[in-house]
Amino acid sequence: MPIIVNLDVMMAKRKMSLNELSEKVDLTLSNLSILKTGKAKAVRFSTLEAICKVLNCQPGDILEYVSDAENK
């Protein structure tokens, strides 16, 4: 998949656990885990905004586009 989710990297930089982020963003642990592992098919802008606000980052810090040619 050409979109890479770097949520775990940002969480590590901010020294925040999945449980703590889940509480602060008001998202279930399972939904946040699906996003973190890159298995999510979509992300709501409101969810992305809340994550960026809590982690004090930009959407580009969390989501990265990698072309298929770079994956090979």
Q: Is residue 72 part of a domain?
A: no
Q: Is residue 41 part of a domain?
A: yes
Count the domains in the chain. Answer: 1
Q: Which of 4-8, 33-37, 62-66, 67-71 has the lowest mean pLDDT?
A: 67-71
pLDDT in tens, 6-24: 999 999 999 999 999 999 9
Q: Is residue 54 part of a domain?
A: yes
pLDDT in tens, 15-58: 999 999 999 999 999 999 999 999 999 999 999 999 999 999 99
Structural domain containing residue 33: 3-67
**Which CATH number do you get for residue 59?**
1.10.260.40
Please give the Cα distance from 20 to 17 (Å, whole number): 5
